[in-house]
Amino acid sequence: MDPVWTYAAAVLSGALVALLLTLFGGGGSVLATPLLLYVVGLRDAHVAIGTSAAAVAVNAAAGLAAQAKAGRVKWPCALTFGGPGLVGSLLGAQVAKTLPAQHLLAWFALAMALVGLSMLRAPRSPGDPDVRIDPAKAMRLAPIGLMTGFAAGFFGIGGGFLIAPGLMAATGMTLANAAASSLVSVTLFGAATSASYAASGLVDWPVFLALVAGGGLGVLAGARLAPLMAGRVLLARRLFAGMIVLTAAYVAWRAVG
């Protein structure tokens, strides 16, 4: 493939993923690996997962900075969730590296489908914007964080689609606070997963840099679009969820074909 197209496609892919991460706090990262495989042109699924995890970590950190500036991040809850999840993500990445690429992609397609279906559901209640951490909430957050981190590391995704609902279920925080706070764990899990893959030589660093460059553009666009979408978030999530399910079907078809 033409190197110019490879890096241009990586920039555009990074912009799209970062835009979706900033707007929804999750779900966007699950598109990174398919984009690297089928648009950018990477041939090894393990390299695509390792590279996407590294870029997602950086882009999520940028999105986190924007959300923190807006005061939407519930730091005590987010860190209580993210600490155990960091351990889980390292374990998940180690297991995933032992699987054949085609088997890993088949599991990845299943995870994508679950992401899309989970995003179709509306939150049951608006939540508490003034939520505070306490021992009972901490006891609920830690095991959910550990399991979510394992899934994020295994599939090489940020895991925001699991993190935000987990935060809401364990603490009762609002969707907006959960989406913002989930970026703490997306950053931690992506960094841990990519470090594991990098240690095995499974990160394409030039493509990573192109993804990060595009991600900066996506974060800026997301910060501008977020206020405009305030009244249409659920509709946008459902349209995005449909796109993820269709992409999952394509990944599954390529994995078994």
pTM, two decimals, is 0.84
* C-alpha to C-alpha distance for 136 and 114, rounded to whole angstroms: 28
Residue position matching structure tokens 């399910």 = 245
* 174 within 8 A of 129, measured Cβ to Cβ: yes
Residues in the chain with pLDDT < 50?
none
Which amino acid, 40?
V
What's the sign of the alpha-carbon dihedral 224, 62, 150, 86? negative
DSSP class of 173? B
Coil vs helix vs strand at 128: strand
Spans of all domains in the chain:
3-256
* C-alpha to C-alpha distance for 76 and 223, rounded to whole angstroms: 24
- Which pLDDT value is given to residue 220? 84
* C-alpha to C-alpha distance for 57 and 145, rounded to whole angstroms: 17
- Which pLDDT value is given to residue 27? 62
* 39 within 8 A of 9, measured Cβ to Cβ: yes
Task: Say which residues have a Cβ less than 8 Å from residue 124's Cβ, sequence separation at least 6.
Answer: none
